[in-house]
Structure 1
Amino acid sequence: MRLFRSVAPVTVAVCLVLSLPNDARPHDARVPARHAAVVTEEPLGAECRISVEGSRVTAYCHNPDAATDRVRLHIECARWWDLDTDGAPADVGPAVTVRLTGRCWKEVGAAWVSHQLV
């Protein structure tokens, strides 16, 4: 009876993890064979890294593709009275890195970069 009590929670946990849909499972570094042949026709655009330090947001966007990508920094502030901002768009040409900055008065709730291929 004591063995059943210690094994039962583990068995239930394993069954729950195996019953999760594929999107909810942790991703593995390996690509399944059925997805290996998927190729996108469109260029991917710039790759951006965003850092938040206090109330300031900085994003560095580098474009490894041949097409120009127009990027824009969006900041959502945590306080309801603090104004959310949408930065000015910046064109990122091939092999170019741009720096986008913005800030809130207090805490930053969220920050992201939008892309538009030019």
Structure 2
Amino acid sequence: MRLSRSLASVTAAVCLVMSLPYDAMPHARVETRRAAAPEPFGASCHSRITGSQVTAYCHNPYPRTDGVRLHIECDRWWDLDSDGAQVRAGPAQTVRLTGRCWKEIRAVWVSHRKLAR
């Protein structure tokens, strides 16, 4: 009978310790490295559609070179969509990208790619 009382008190103590939050229990202090802040990247671009012509201007305010490409989706099924050539936008540089469709334009966007310095 005495054994079961002892076992009950040990079980209660173990349950109490296990229910404590992790921070309340003593543990070895471990130094963690903080991840470096990501390097700012990406030229800011704005585009203008005039009829079937597109002009986009991209300005890169960051120190890393950005490879920008103009993509045009034409509205008509027979009109070919186009992906422009990649243009290097260096630090503090503004580049102009142009393209066109034969008729109406459905969508325009600019893609970005990190390039070697």
| Pairing 1:77–2:74 present | yes
Aligned to 1:35: none
| Pairing 1:104–2:101 present | yes
Sequence identity percentage: 65
Unaligned segments of structure 2, at least 5 residues:
1-35
Distance 2:37 2:71 in 1: 26
Q: Give 4+ residue runs of structure 1 displaced > 4 Å after superposition.
A: none
1:58 to 55, 61, 64: 55
After superposition, give the CA deviation of every residue in 1:72-95 in whole Å (9 maximum; x if it has no partner).
000000000000000010000000
Question: What TM-score, normalized to structure 1?
Answer: 0.65
Instruction: Give the secondary structure class of the aligned counterpart of 1:61.
Output: strand
Partner amino acid, structure 1, of 2:107: A
Question: What TM-score, normalized to structure 2?
Answer: 0.66
Aligned to 1:49: 46
Partner amino acid, structure 2, of 1:113: V
Distance 2:40 2:64 in 1: 7
Instruction: Give the secondary structure class of the aligned counterpart of 2:45.
Output: strand
Number of residues paired by the alignment?
Answer: 80
Unaligned segments of structure 1, at least 5 residues:
1-38
| Pairing 1:91–2:94 present | no
Distance 2:37 2:46 in 1: 22
| Larger-gyration structure (1/2) | 2
Please report how far the alpha carbon of residue 40 of structure 1 lies from its aligned counterpart in structure 2 after TM superposition: 5.5
RMSD: 1.3
Partner amino acid, structure 1, of 2:78: W
